[in-house]
Amino acid sequence: PGAVYGPALIRRNSNAANTMSGGHFFMALKPEFFREPGDFQKDLDEMIDALHAATPIDPQKPVLVHGDNEWAHFDDRKKNGIPVPLKLLGLIKGVADRAGVDFLLGEVSENSPSLWGAD
């Protein structure tokens, strides 16, 4: 039947046996249709800066916006490499050996670094 919405949420979800109701809605807008080019991005940047500058409830957890965690992980992986479990390295080496190609990820042993691709 699709996702419920509005008052149907209450009616439909009041029956615990009928819990299957999922739906997604995506909308893409071109800000230039509504504002001068660049104005939306400028205002969005200002809003993000204001959110980042907000005093967090927990001083150990700064206020984040969508994408902050992903960029932090990207920067960490670029600097420190990609964590690859030793077991997975062994499996990849096995594939390379069976295919007769060089294994370029280094030695696979208990002493192997757990990161691949670090500078």
Distances (CA, A) of 62 to 46, 72, 85: 17, 13, 30
With b meaning 16 or more CB within 10 Å and e meaning fewer, what string describes 28-47?
eeeeeeeeeeeeeeeeeeee
H or E stretch covering 115 = strand 115-116
- Residue 69, pLDDT above cutoff 70: yes
Average pLDDT over residues 59-66: 95
User: For residue range 21-53, what is the model confidence (pLDDT) as tens digits?
Assistant: 667 788 999 999 999 989 999 999 999 999 999
Two structure tokens written together for 89: 């390295």
The share of the chain scoring above pLDDT 90, in percent, equals 54
Domain spans of the chain? 82-119
- Averaged pLDDT of the chain: 83
pLDDT of residue 119: 43
Mean pLDDT lowest for which of 2-11, 51-60, 62-71? 2-11
Length of the chain: 119
